């Protein structure tokens, strides 16, 4: 019995908590993706690079002498015009084409590659790391968790809740959902659909940038960092249901826990194939994902 307690306290419980902090990170990435897809029907392959831009902007703001809390407020605001312009200048060009899915996918994929190289040119190829804003750790029932991870879990959960409230409980959210459900009807009822499109895209991009600020102290900052979470975030969006917020949260927690716990028993190299295997099964059995699309729920 003490052996099991030792195992639970040192191995299993911390592993689940670590999985949870990773889960929050993945959900923050997936939220932006799923909202953009749910409303605009655009698969944003450059999402990972927007996450990287957020992290690099945090470094720049930090270099000017501001602390972490300023970054947390300022960087998402800086991301809004970037997202807005991307939607207006790039996405709109191919948005009304019959091949929208393929064209926007290729466009954002290419744009992501350009952004990655721009980051390399501006900041150089080497890894950088902002200081951890909250040091130290807390013991909960003998389980050690760094304070910053604890903050990440709590702040992330609050942020997810706030996004949910905005989308489902505010007038703005109602307009977004109406535009997603039927853009012609919404438009004729006075919803400024064009503005809603650009605004939603910018909002998704700002969320990616915010994840960049939040995760930079843990995962460090380098030009190709955008590739880190993008596969997992896409998997979460697909399993949860393309365009579903609840889906992203449920699938995000579920898949990161599967990954965290399975890596204790099988070689960690195999935990990724396991997660992608689940995605393939969901696609075969329930292609629409666990939950329905934004606007339909």
Partner 1 sequence: MTKKTSALAAALLLTSAGTALAADPIRIGVVTPLSGTYAPIGQQVRWGLELAAKQVNDKGGIAGRPVELLFEDEEANPAVAVQKAEKLFQVAKVDFLTGTVNSGSTLAVGQVAERNDRLLATTVSFADSITTDKCSPNVFRVNARAGQQSAALAEWLNKEKPKSKVFFLGPDYEMGRSTVAAFKQAATDKGASDAGEVFAPLDSKDYTQYFGQLRASRPAVIYTSVAGNDTVRLLTQLEEYGLLRNLTVVGASGTVTSQNIGAIGKAAEGFVTGVGYSPEIGTPENKAFVDAFRAAYKTDPDLYGADSFGLIHFYKAAVEKAGTTATAALRDAMRGIQWQTPQGTKTMRGGDHQAVQEMYAVQVTDGKFRIVGTVPGEAAIGQDLCTKF
Interface with partner 1 (CB under 8 A) = 6-7, 10-12, 14-15, 18-19, 22, 126-129, 131-132, 137, 144, 146, 148-149, 218-220, 222, 228-229, 260, 263-264, 267-269, 272
Q: Looking at beta carbons only, is 17 or 167 nearer to partner 1?
A: 17
Cα dihedral angle (290, 234, 210, 32), rounded to 10 degrees? -60
Min separation Cβ 221 and partner 1, Å: 8
Cβ atoms 246, 240 nearer than 8 A:
yes
Which 3 state secondary structure label does DSSP give 197? helix
Q: SS3 helix, strand, coil % of the chain, rounded to 5?
A: 80, 5, 20
Dist. CA 292–CA 201, nearest whole Å: 20
Q: Looking at beta carbons only, is 22 or 79 nearer to partner 1?
A: 22
Min separation Cβ 146 and partner 1, Å: 5
Dist. CA 30–CA 240, nearest whole Å: 10
Q: Looking at beta carbons only, is 198 or 256 nearer to partner 1?
A: 256
Q: Looking at beta carbons only, is 10 or 109 nearer to partner 1?
A: 10
Q: Looking at beta carbons only, is 15 or 246 nearer to partner 1?
A: 15
Q: Looking at beta carbons only, is 188 or 220 nearer to partner 1?
A: 220
Q: Is 192 left (phi over 0), alpha (psi -120 to 50) or beta?
A: beta
Min separation Cβ 165 and partner 1, Å: 29
| The token pair that represents 283 in the structure block | 């696609």
Residue 146 bridge partners (DSSP): 137
| The token pair that represents 256 in the structure block | 């990161």
Min separation Cβ 22 and partner 1, Å: 6
Min separation Cβ 254 and partner 1, Å: 17
Integer angstrom CA distances of residue 210 from 41, 92, 160, 225, 242: 23, 24, 12, 14, 21
Min separation Cβ 47 and partner 1, Å: 16
| The token pair that represents 202 in the structure block | 């910018």
């Amino acid at each position: 019995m003490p052996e099991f307690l030792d195992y639970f306290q040192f191995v299993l419980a911390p592993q689940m908590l670590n999985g949870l902090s990773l889960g929050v990170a993945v959900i923050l990435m997936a939220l932006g993706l799923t909202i953009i897809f749910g409303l605009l029907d655009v698969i944003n392959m450059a999402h990972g690079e927007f996450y990287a831009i957020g992290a690099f902007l945090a470094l720049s703001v930090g270099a000017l002498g501001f602390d972490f809390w300023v970054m947390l407020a300022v960087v998402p605001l800086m991301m809004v015009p970037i997202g807005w312009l991307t939607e207006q200048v790039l996405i709109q060009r191919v948005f009304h084409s019959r091949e929208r899915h393929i064209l926007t996918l290729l466009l954002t994929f290419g744009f992501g590659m350009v952004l990655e190289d721009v980051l390399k040119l501006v900041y150089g190829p080497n890894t950088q790391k902002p200081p951890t804003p909250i040091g130290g750790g807390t013991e909960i029932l003998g389980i050690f968790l760094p304070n910053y991870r604890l903050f990440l879990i709590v702040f992330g959960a609050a942020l997810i809740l706030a996004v949910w409230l905005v989308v489902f409980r505010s007038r703005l959210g109602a307009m977004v959902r109406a535009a997603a459900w039927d853009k012609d009807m919404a438009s004729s009822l006075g919803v400024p659909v064009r503005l809603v499109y650009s605004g939603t895209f910018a909002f998704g991009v700002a969320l990616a940038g915010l994840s960049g600020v939040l995760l930079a102290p843990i995962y460090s900052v380098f030009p190709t960092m955008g590739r880190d979470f993008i596969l997992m975030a896409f998997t979460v969006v697909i399993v949860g249901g393309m365009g579903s917020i609840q889906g992203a949260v449920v699938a995000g927690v579920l898949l990161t826990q599967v990954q965290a716990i399975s890596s204790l028993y099988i070689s960690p190299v195999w935990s990724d194939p396991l997660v992608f295997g689940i995605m393939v099964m969901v696609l075969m059995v329930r292609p629409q994902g666990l939950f329905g699309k934004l606007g339909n729920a």
